[in-house]
Amino acid sequence: MSDKLKWGVLSTAGIGMRKVIPGMKKSELVTVQAIASRDAAKAAAAAEKLQIPVSYGSYEELLADPEIDAIYNPLPVNMHVDWSIRAMEAGKHVLCEKPIAMSAEEAARLIDARERTGKQVLEAVMVRQHPQWLRVAEIIRSGEIGEVCLMQTTMSFFNDDPNNIRNIAEVGGGALYDVGCYALFLSRFVFNAEPQQVVAISDIDPNMHTDRLMSGIIDFGNGRQLSFTCGTQLARFQTVQIIGRKGRIEVPVSLNAPQGEEVTITIDADGTNDPAQMRHEVIAASDQYTLQADLAARVFRGETPAEYPIENAVNNMAAIDALYRSAKSHTWEKVASI
């Protein structure tokens, strides 16, 4: 391995400051070299807080830095595609926060940009790298719980601040974009298939015009379904149930696994629903954001192919598009996967 891959961070967004950058800084494969904000003072403060060597008062200055190999893009959703493309055109690989775009059509522009520039662009879906989800996949493949036919998820938190980016519709706020997208990521991961059709119902905040509550059913065909609920004005909660013909797996801390701490998954292999017979597997401590950075670095260096190329992100957006259509049409909508 040559020198570490040098990263620049495009904005001082909260997810980057609290979770992603601290995780990246633990990596032996990358170094966070620079951070940018439209406010030079804010960029400088962030750089000092996180011990990042260089700060820039504009995104353009960061993209022009010849020392930077890759960009982490945690900008608002409506800015993801344009700035990721600008980074690729500047000769940088890109790891972009989820959801990748406001629509599948918009996300598909990244495929063309990758082909045109020769630079990789990946969606930051940290859960797919966490050992608990790799273990879940291993159990499913082993056949221990039988054929998996049903997945159920609930993901919620409370935030009714109209100035918070999660509650601003035009920039990509709302429950489905923010946390419901994970239900789609994980169900596609578990079933190893693309959804065929969806049906959904939503509750729209009358003032902020975002979906503050959405529930849906995702049909993967062959008797496989996801049922999910996501909300932005409910008590904080998350859980995933994966139910097979013989048994089930419960992942109680499905998204926000504590960085550097153990987590536990529960396996009811025989479907007895008897707590005395359930198996509780402790998954060793890890930081899914460090693992995400490591994998991105290997892909960007050409050491491993992208297991989840940008086409995967486009397909996730296609399912999100269909759910929003269904919430308005009140009927089943087809998913236009590529």
pLDDT in tens, 205-221: 999 999 999 999 999 99
- The whole-angstrom distance between residue 94's C-alpha and the CA centroid of its chain comes to 14
Q: What is the pLDDT of residues 57-90, one digit of tens each?
A: 999 999 999 999 999 999 999 999 999 999 999 9
> By C-alpha distance, which of 204, 40, 171 is closest to 97?
171
Query: Which residue type sits at 24?
Result: M
- Could you tell me the CA-to-CA distances from 106 to 28, 94, 164, 182, 335 in Å, in that order? 34, 16, 24, 19, 16
- Span 261-275, pLDDT tens digits: 999 999 999 999 999
Whether 25 sits among the annotated catalytic residues: the reply is: no
Residue 2: which pLDDT band, with cuts at 50, 70 and 90? low
Banded model confidence at residue 3, pLDDT cuts 50, 70, 90: confident
Span 14-32, pLDDT tens digits: 999 999 999 999 999 999 9
Omega before 99 cis (within 30°)? yes
Two tokens at 153? 């998820």
Q: Which of 161, 160, 9, 177 is nearest to 77 (CA)?
A: 177
Tokens of 103: 């629509």
H/E element holding 43?
A: helix 40-50
Give Cβ neighbours of residue 198 (< 8 Å, ≥ 6 apart): 216, 217, 218, 219, 319, 322, 323, 326, 332, 333, 335
Q: Quick one: pLDDT at residue 1?
A: 40
pTM above 0.85, yes or no: yes
Q: Tell me the mean pLDDT in the region 98-116.
A: 98
* Higher-pLDDT residue of 115, 1: 115
| Beta strand residue intervals within the chain, DSSP E | 5-10, 30-36, 54-56, 70-73, 93-97, 121-124, 148-158, 197-204, 211-221, 224-231, 233-244, 248-251, 261-268, 279-286, 333-334
How far apart are alpha carbons 235 and 287 in whole angstroms? 25
318 — pLDDT class (breaks 50, 70, 90): very high
Among candidate residues 6, 92, 98, 119, the one labeled active-site is: 98
Q: How far is CA 73 from CA 62, 125, 336, in A?
A: 12, 13, 26
Q: Kindly list the distances between the CA atom of residue 251 and the CA atoms of 51, 143, 156, 264, 329, in Å, as whole numbers in the listed order.
A: 35, 18, 15, 7, 33
Mean pLDDT along residues 9-15 = 95
